[in-house]
């Protein structure tokens, strides 16, 4: 049993979901142990919540939590078979293997207790290391613990809180993207990058930094270990169709996801880290 440092407390969000609450000199944050799912991050230097969670999100374990940072693993998106979209890591229990207060952040490491599942043939160890300081860094480490190679996909599927999607601009992307709403057509990144319709895009030029510019400030998103950045907003119709999103829920969120969508192959003993830092 890991002893929690001074800044961390454990609370019960529902019958099935326990949440680690972090409150240190730099920020407040919360993480559901079910899914290793970040639910909030509010740095104290500007008191601006960075993560959006749907007001109708389910916390009963029946669905992945709508909002925050779902951990998609060991695949991304939907599949041709019946298996659930975005893999199973976001719907399983993780355990705390380390928690410490460091000079500039609180560090928590969670481990997925059981990484095996239908649709994934490999043997893997999966860790999520979270650093809550002036910025938030979330680092997903996949290790091949078996004796044959495997290929995985995944994402840190972050829902950013925005004041109004109609007045939000995404900066820093360039090159082509593949558009899910247009049968995966390859199209050039718009400039300026603004939102006025359903947006579901895999950007294939994996830049390291993008920014979300909006009325009350800019949010910077740094990514490492990715081969793509996914940008999603369901807009009016899909928002209304989703049982765990209010009809106008799309107005206050924008997903910018640090992702591996092209398949990352790991040889036995190899480790791959996918990381997103939000400031
Ligand atoms: O990352 C974009 C996406 O794959 C969209 O196509 C959309 O379906 C979204 O994720 C949410 O997926 P979810 O399974 O959480 O409902």
- The model carries a pTM of 0.98
Query: What pLDDT score was predicted for residue 81?
Result: 87
Instruction: Name the catalytic one among 37, 157, 203, 226.
Output: 157
Q: Give the tens place of pLDDT for each residue, 110-142.
A: 999 999 999 999 999 999 999 999 999 999 999
Say whether 198 is catalytic. no
- Report the candidate in 170, 173, 171 with the shortest Cα–Cα distance to residue 188: 173
DSSP-assigned states of every residue in 183-232: TTEEEEPPSSB--SS-EEEEE-S--SEEEEEETTEEEEEEEES-SEEEEE
Please tell me if the CB atom of residue 107 comes closer than 6 angstroms to any atom of ligand 1. Answer: no
- Report the candidate in 157, 66, 73, 67 with the shortest Cα–Cα distance to residue 114: 73
Q: Give the tens place of pLDDT for each residue, 227-273.
A: 999 999 999 999 999 999 999 999 999 999 999 999 999 999 999 99
Please tell me if the CB atom of residue 230 comes closer than 6 angstroms to any atom of ligand 1. Answer: yes
Is the predicted pLDDT of residue 88 greater than 90, yes or no? yes
User: What gap in Å lies between CA 266 and CA 44, rounded to an integer?
Assistant: 39
Report which protein residue has its CA nearest ligand 1's atom 10: 77
User: What gap in Å lies between CA 111 and CA 93, rounded to an integer?
Assistant: 9
Report which protein residue has its CA nearest ligand 1's atom 4: 77
């Amino acid at each position: 049993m890991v002893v929690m440092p001074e800044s961390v407390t454990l609370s019960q969000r529902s019958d099935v979901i326990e949440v680690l609450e972090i409150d240190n000199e730099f920020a407040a944050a919360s993480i559901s142990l079910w899914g290793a799912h970040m639910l909030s991050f509010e740095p104290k230097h500007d008191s601006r919540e960075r993560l959006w969670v749907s007001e109708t999100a389910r916390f009963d374990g029946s669905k992945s939590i709508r909002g925050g940072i779902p951990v998609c693993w060991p695949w991304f998106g939907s599949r041709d078979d019946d298996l659930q979209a975005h893999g199973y890591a976001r719907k399983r229990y993780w355990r705390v293997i380390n928690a410490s207060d460091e000079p500039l952040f609180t560090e928590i490491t969670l481990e997925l207790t059981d990484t095996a599942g239908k649709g994934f043939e490999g043997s893997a160890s999966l860790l999520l290391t979270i650093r809550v300081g002036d910025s938030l860094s979330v680092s997903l480490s996949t290790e091949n613990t078996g004796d044959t190679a495997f290929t995985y996909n995944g994402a840190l599927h972050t829902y950013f809180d925005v004041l109004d999607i109609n007045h939000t601009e995404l900066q820093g992307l360039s090159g082509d993207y593949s558009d899910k709403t247009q049968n995966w057509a390859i199209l050039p990144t718009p400039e300026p990058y603004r939102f006025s319709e359903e947006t579901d895009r895999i950007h294939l030029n994996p830049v390291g930094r993008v920014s979300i510019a909006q009325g009350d400030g800019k949010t910077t998103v740094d990514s490492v270990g990715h081969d793509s950045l996914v940008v999603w907003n369901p807009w009016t119709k899909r928002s209304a169709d989703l049982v765990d999103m209010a009809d106008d829920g799309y107005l206050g969120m924008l997903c910018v996801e640090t992702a591996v969508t092209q398949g990352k192959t790991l040889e036995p003993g190899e480790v791959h880290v996918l990381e997103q830092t939000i400031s």
